[in-house]
Amino acid sequence: MIPFVHHIESLSKTITGKTGIRFEEWPVFILGLALLLMAFVFMPSAVALALSIALFLAPVWLPFLIVGGAWKIWVVLKRSEFIASQKYILLEIKPPRNLVKTPLAMEAFLSSIHLTGGEATWWARFKGGIRPSWSLEIASFEGQVHFFIWARAAYRRVVESQMYSQYPGVQVVEAPDYTRLISAKPEEWSIWGCDFIHTAPDPLPIKTYIEYGLDKVQKEPEQVDPLANLVEFMSSIGKGEYLWLQFVIRAHKGEKYGTTPAGNASSRLNPEGKAYTWKDEANEMVEKIRKETRSTYVDPITGKEMPGFPNPTKGQMEKMAAMERNVSKLAFDVGARGIYIAKPEHFNGITISHLIALFKPFSTEGWNGINSTAWMKTFDDYPWEIGAEKKKDHYRRELVEAFRRRQFFYDPFFEGGKHMKDAMVMSTEELATVFHIPSRAVETPGLERIASATGEAPANLPV
């Protein structure tokens, strides 16, 4: 089946609610229908009068309803056409053995792919255009760890040139889509997966590489890279096991705060009358801390109670400085997702516990963290959950399909049906912390490295 037809079929299922991506809408619909029937039983005349009035006024409200619904369906349709029409490519990044770069190099790379073109005008959005999205991936195949970047094929030159400029000696090669090399069907494989979200508001940063002192090169015995924990865990899985992690990203333009998915300003505005952003939220959080540290005093001359000067503690000052530094950098909308797939005879439940706690090294008490949510996390496995196993298989299929499509922000796989609710807004600094090419200080056996750096001969050699 061609990609576009497959995409449209899944889209139609999503709209009709048959795939379960928007299950949370059904309880509201059923409750409303039940209340209407109950009102009709106990107050038939009132309900009949209300329906007759609504029908009489239909020429007033029905056109708005039809046009509004048609516009939403049109946007989804054209956007689906655009997504399906693009050619995508998966590039594997193979680091050399002698790599000594810090995560700052990855931050510079991420800044270079912070592209917002494609939906700048209403006409571009009308045609279905969207800004580029990327998927940064770490995958373990039976303990062998690999790093990938998924992108539109048209941006291959951008990825390669920027990666080579920041990581001399790496190899960037086209790779087959590893997610389709196995069937990953619930009938044949045991599957568990989840998304990841922030534990606190987005402006508050996680523990980044700067807090770990990785903003400068250290002596290898002294270097502490939190990504080493993640890579080491992924290399520890055995035969018949696969562990995939992806960060689906796009340049942040404010959907989570003050604009709609179509890019239009919503009713949420900042004091200047502009779209509310995470910088506005950061200012509010900083001001709240400042107010909490301000003690009042009585003026000895007037006898009036006066507000004192802010007197934050060292920890509060560091927290405010970290937020200001975080929102001063370029930001991405980030959808993080992890999947553990194994043959039933090799499935290890302890791996699920490790996957849930995968980002503990980046979390700090009182600051921000990353926690697991959605998909298989929604099941509590109580004995009275009738039909749960069938629903689990349904979720497993959708989870694998969402991972394969690298979709998080658009139909039919936008965050379990709750648009922008679970997406994280992360600065380039935060994103480079959770995804960067490990230096040679990370000696995980399962991390594949090329034997030596490759390059062309100098141009000035004598002929």
The DSSP code sequence of 145-206 is EEEEEEEEGGGHHHHHHHHHHHSTT-EEEE---GGGSS---TTTSEEEEEEEEESS-TTS--
Q: Does residue 191 contact residue 341 with C-beta atoms inside 8 Å?
A: yes
Judge if 411 and 355 occupy the same domain.
yes
Judge if 356 and 248 occupy the same domain.
yes
- Write down the pLDDT at residue 222: 62
Residue 63 inside a domain? The answer is yes
Residue 456 inside a domain? The answer is no
- Write down the pLDDT at residue 259: 64
Give the separation between CA 125 and CA 119, rounded to whole angstroms. 5
Judge if 151 and 32 occupy the same domain.
no
Cα–Cα distance list, 76 to 1, 26, 205, 280, 318 (Å): 20, 21, 33, 30, 43
Q: Which residue has the tokens 């270097």?
A: 223
In the chain, which stretches have pLDDT less than 70? 1-26, 218-222, 258-267, 297-298, 414-421, 452-463
Q: Which of 86, 106, 132 is the last residue of a domain?
A: 86
Give the separation between CA 134 and CA 154, rounded to whole angstroms. 12
Give the separation between CA 326 and CA 204, rounded to whole angstroms. 7
Residue 35 inside a domain? The answer is yes
- Write down the pLDDT at residue 459: 57
Q: Does residue 415 contact residue 408 with C-beta atoms inside 8 Å?
A: yes
For the record, the structure tokens of 444 come out as 């995980």
Judge if 125 and 137 occupy the same domain.
yes
Tell me phi and psi for residue 362, to 5 degrees. -100, 0
Judge if 150 and 52 occupy the same domain.
no
- Write down the pLDDT at residue 25: 57
- Write down the pLDDT at residue 14: 40
Judge if 23 and 109 occupy the same domain.
no
Helical (H) or strand (E) element with 141: strand 133-141
Q: Which residue has the tokens 């060292």?
A: 314
Judge if 215 and 363 occupy the same domain.
yes
Judge if 193 and 229 occupy the same domain.
yes
Q: Please, what's the largest Cα pairwise distance for the chain?
A: 99
- Write down the pLDDT at residue 268: 72
Domain of 33 in residue numbering reads as: 1-86
How much is the pTM?
0.84
Judge if 126 and 198 occupy the same domain.
yes
Residue 245 inside a domain? The answer is yes
Give the separation between CA 152 and CA 136, rounded to whole angstroms. 13
Judge if 222 and 130 occupy the same domain.
yes
Residue 322 inside a domain? The answer is no
Give the separation between CA 410 and CA 412, rounded to whole angstroms. 6
In terms of C-beta density within 10 A (0-12 exposed, 13-18 middle, 19 or more buried), how is residue 299 classed?
A: exposed
DSSP 332: E
- Write down the pLDDT at residue 416: 39
- Write down the pLDDT at residue 225: 85
Judge if 243 and 388 occupy the same domain.
yes
- Write down the pLDDT at residue 266: 55
Helical (H) or strand (E) element with 455: none
Nearest to 83 by CA among 23, 115, 32, 127: 127
Give the separation between CA 354 and CA 333, rounded to whole angstroms. 25
Residue 80 inside a domain? The answer is yes
Judge if 95 and 218 occupy the same domain.
yes
